[in-house]
Structure 1
Amino acid sequence: MDTKGLLIFPKWFVTTPLELPKIGFGVRVLGDKIDSIASRDELLRKFPEDEILEKPDQVLLPGFVDAHTHLYGILAHGIPLSKAPSGFMPFLEDFWWPLVENQLDSVMINAATDWNCFQMIRSGVTSFYDCTEAPNALPGVLIKQLPVVEKWGIRGTLSFEATERISNSNGDLGLSENVDLIQLSKSKNNLVTGLMCFHTTFTCSESFIMRTFELAAENNVLTHMHCSEGHYEPQEMLKRNGLRPIEYYDQIGVLGPGMLVSQCVQIDQNEIKLLAARNAKVTHMPLSNCEVGGGIAPLPELVEAGVTVGLGSDGYITDFFEVMRGAFLIHKASHCDPRVMPANQVWHLATAGGADALGLKNVGCIKEGWQADLMLVNPKLPTPIEAHNLYDQLLLYCNANDVDTVMIAGKLRKLDGEVLNADSQALRNKVQKEADRLWKKSA
């Protein structure tokens, strides 16, 4: 058993953003966990043989958790369009489905995964959940993606977004893809896991939805779906059965702690109450909701109701400081109230909130016995950082370039501003090649 640890000494130390940051504390990392938190003098006295990482001007924080992304989405950035989609459903029907998702193959997805794992580590993301929909890449797409994620040493949850929009048999292949990945990842017992996933009520039948939840229960994992990302789904559900989507899920008996529901943009107060009462988990994507014209999700209301909420990039912008800025600013504007979504609350959603939404144990805070998923931020700002303003200063004025060091499960993945064992130009060349191939296929 390894008894030699690593002592990390920053200037500022954050256990959780729900508490004020502290000065003069350090942490001891042993194996994949936080072994001890104490003053500098005490750690040096107790562990004189440990290695030391001195970062005297920096802030030690929990790593970010990107609780919802589509890693393949990078391939569509800048794709040629004859006209812009006129709304959320035209975005899907005229653009995203035919020009992107239906054209994807494993080579494209793996190139995008490789690039995004690099970018996530670069920006301080230590855990993520990825949702792949590529109906013509089945079967085997997740099994091929798995080793790409594993080599980066990042904590990941992978899934395939099963849907019956192509055919019933294609939907079955999607469900099987999730089960295969879940079982394989459990046998490996490493940082990458899986969950069950289907698309929405408007691309999946009730029997298909029920079967997804049954498979999740059999494999002891969460079930993920998109919900009410725009007006279309709630309007269609009201026409079909007089219920809004969350009300429908509650009626058929699947709304509960095993549900991870993303977007939740066009939901009403009763649906918020149901999400809270049933302890369902929600992920919020402030920037991509704007991009697709879906609207602005009721994030402050969800938080106030006590719903577990995490933040996600949605594969749109990977720099998680940008995602936090979206959650921090957009809701202030929509509520005409600068007190809405204070900085420390947004930091919580970006760390422990995301970990809780994904069901990650002992992730998202820096506490003794918890996973050593950390980042050190080196803010070079013109005004002082103090305990009362640290969360605001970092959220508003830092970005991925200010992340100096990243540790995941006790292993350094970025140090002194450089992602370790990464050739960024080679990764960029590979993803550009696959983006070009996608664009030509969809032309």
Structure 2
Amino acid sequence: MSEEGATTPGLVCSHHHLYSALARGMPAPPRTPGGFAEILELVWWRLDRALDLEMLGWSAKLGALEALESGCTAIVDHHESPNAIEGSLDVIATACAEVGVRVSCCYGVTDRHGSDGARRGLAENERYLAAGGQGYVGVHASFTCTDDTLASAAELASRYDVGVHIHVAEGPPDADAAERLAGLSDDRWLLIHGVHLPTEHGLAGTIVHNPRSNMNNAVGYANPTRFAAANPIALGTDGIGADMLDEFRVAYARLREHDVTASPDPPWEWLARGWELMPDARNDTVRWSYPSADPWHLAYTPGVHPLDITIDGEQVLAGGIATRVDPAEVRAKAAEQAQRLFASLDELD
């Protein structure tokens, strides 16, 4: 324990949606969603349809800035913007690079917008990977894709020696995901949520737990400890910021609710799994405002924040302030784009 503050590698958000950073304060949906399927249809699928590349750039930059200010130096992002597909992954990667945050990108392929929409999504993944971008092949979820699209995504990922990044059994509409994906997955895949996966599901890959999102959408509790014998577990936010210490605390509280004897060690291991997914983050250095990085301390200590962060030998946060960008400017520009986004939402059917 150091009186000057504990030091750790940079934290990793193993599942994020940087396009959602502008959503705060968005107009209410046309009607109150009655369940998970309507939350998707009336909120998030409307939001992604309203995005253009300028909105996306400032949303990603704001999300990256807030990640940095929380000690998160690497983000595994999953993106969708059906009316602004081509070049969208470059926009996200550029925005993160300007802040100094590492990012792994993918475009979430879906047949929600027809076969041409799925084709364009696959093409954006391939274009980005072929150009040397770090990432996965993204798929929204099996319940919004045809079997042919799922097979094409798996083949594309195999061709580029990467995994598929896909929402799996988050809610009842996707409860048959294990059957739909049988025989396609491998150890490189990211299986997001897994709330409604059977314990013996037979899928290979890392399961990424997103406790706050699951609670927010009232889809149930994944109880990820049940998968630990067969699958590594990682921790993400599903777009609710990138404060991974906060997500760790929520994951621990949720685990304790399920098992009052549980220690914070399993959720900390889920957080640490991010270093396997984004290994360069191990070399980043975060100096914290609290003198211990012991999970038992952090689980019960609110307000811990980074003081200084070094990435690739460059100090990108000094005294809690980003050095590469002007935080006030990023927030002001993002607020302007949020108003454009809200106006676009009002114009949607």
Q: TM-score range by the shorter chain?
A: over 0.9
Q: Which residue of 2 aligns with 1:431?
A: 334
Q: Which residue of 1 aligns with 2:161?
A: 220
Q: In structure 2, do the counterparts of structure 1 residues 290 and 261 end up closer, same or farther at CA, with 3 Å as the change threshold?
A: same
> Deviation digits for residues 194-227 of structure 1, max 9, x if unmatched?
2111111221111111111111111111111111
TM-score (norm 2): 0.93
Higher strand share goes to which structure?
A: 1
> Contact (CA 8 Å) 1:285, 1:312: kept in 2 or not?
yes
RCO higher in 1 or 2 (8 Å CA, sep ≥ 6)? 2
Post-superposition offset of 1:306: 4.4
1:355 aligns with 2:287: no
1:319 aligns with 2:243: yes
Q: In structure 2, do the counterparts of structure 1 residues 416 and 94 end up closer, same or farther at CA, with 3 Å as the change threshold?
A: closer
Q: What are the within-5 Å matches in structure 2 for residues 216-365 of structure 1?
A: 216-234=157-175, 244-250=176-182, 253-271=183-201, 274-275=202-203, 278=204, 280-303=205-228, 305-333=229-257, 335=258, 337-340=259-262, 342-351=263-272, 353-356=273-276, 358=277, 360-361=278-279, 363=280
> Deviation digits for residues 134-169 of structure 1, max 9, x if unmatched?
100022211233222222232210111111111101
Partner amino acid for 1:106?
L
CA–CA distance in structure 1, aligned partners of residues 287 and 199 of structure 2: 39
Post-superposition offset of 1:414: 1.3
Q: In structure 2, do the counterparts of structure 1 residues 411 and 346 end up closer, same or farther at CA, with 3 Å as the change threshold?
A: farther
- 2:119 corresponds, among 165, 169, 172, to 172
Q: Which residue of 1 aligns with 2:73?
A: 126
> Contact (CA 8 Å) 2:154, 2:185: kept in 1 or not?
no
- 1:412 corresponds, among 315, 318, 325, to 315
Q: Which residue of 1 aligns with 2:285?
A: 374
> Contact (CA 8 Å) 1:126, 1:407: kept in 2 or not?
no
Post-superposition offset of 1:409: 2.9
Moved more, 193-202 or 406-415: 406-415
Q: What are the within-5 Å matches in structure 2 for residues 158-169 of structure 1?
A: 158-169=105-116
> Contact (CA 8 Å) 2:66, 2:241: kept in 1 or not?
no
Partner amino acid for 2:156?
L
Post-superposition offset of 1:258: 2.9
Partner amino acid for 2:17?
H
Post-superposition offset of 1:394: 1.9
CA–CA distance in structure 1, aligned partners of residues 218 and 103 of structure 2: 28
CA–CA distance in structure 2, aligned partners of residues 141 and 57 of structure 1: 41
- 1:73 corresponds, among 2, 20, 35, to 20
Partner amino acid for 1:325?
R
CA–CA distance in structure 1, aligned partners of residues 322 and 67 of structure 2: 10
Post-superposition offset of 1:70: 0.3
Partner amino acid for 2:95?
V
CA–CA distance in structure 1, aligned partners of residues 149 and 340 of structure 2: 33
CA–CA distance in structure 2, aligned partners of residues 373 and 395 of structure 1: 22
- 1:87 corresponds, among 13, 35, 41, to 35
> Contact (CA 8 Å) 1:67, 1:355: kept in 2 or not?
no
RMSD: 1.9
SS in 1 for 2:74: strand
CA–CA distance in structure 2, aligned partners of residues 284 and 406 of structure 1: 26
Structure of higher CA gyration radius: 1
> Contact (CA 8 Å) 2:199, 2:227: kept in 1 or not?
no
Post-superposition offset of 1:344: 3.0
Partner amino acid for 1:328?
Y
CA–CA distance in structure 1, aligned partners of residues 301 and 49 of structure 2: 39
CA–CA distance in structure 2, aligned partners of residues 421 and 269 of structure 1: 45
SS in 1 for 2:22: helix
SS in 2 for 1:136: coil
CA–CA distance in structure 1, aligned partners of residues 33 and 165 of structure 2: 26
CA–CA distance in structure 1, aligned partners of residues 326 and 161 of structure 2: 37
Q: In structure 2, do the counterparts of structure 1 residues 298 and 345 end up closer, same or farther at CA, with 3 Å as the change threshold?
A: closer
TM-score (norm 1): 0.74
Structure 1: tracts of 5 or more residues without a match: 1-10, 13-55, 187-192, 235-243, 365-370
> Contact (CA 8 Å) 2:142, 2:181: kept in 1 or not?
no
Q: In structure 2, do the counterparts of structure 1 residues 398 and 57 end up closer, same or farther at CA, with 3 Å as the change threshold?
A: farther
Q: What are the within-5 Å matches in structure 2 for residues 17-32 of structure 1?
A: none
* Overall identity of the aligned pairs, in %: 25
1:197 aligns with 2:108: no
Post-superposition offset of 1:393: 1.7
Structure 2: tracts of 5 or more residues without a match: none
Q: Which residue of 2 aligns with 1:96?
A: 44
CA–CA distance in structure 2, aligned partners of residues 114 and 338 of structure 1: 39
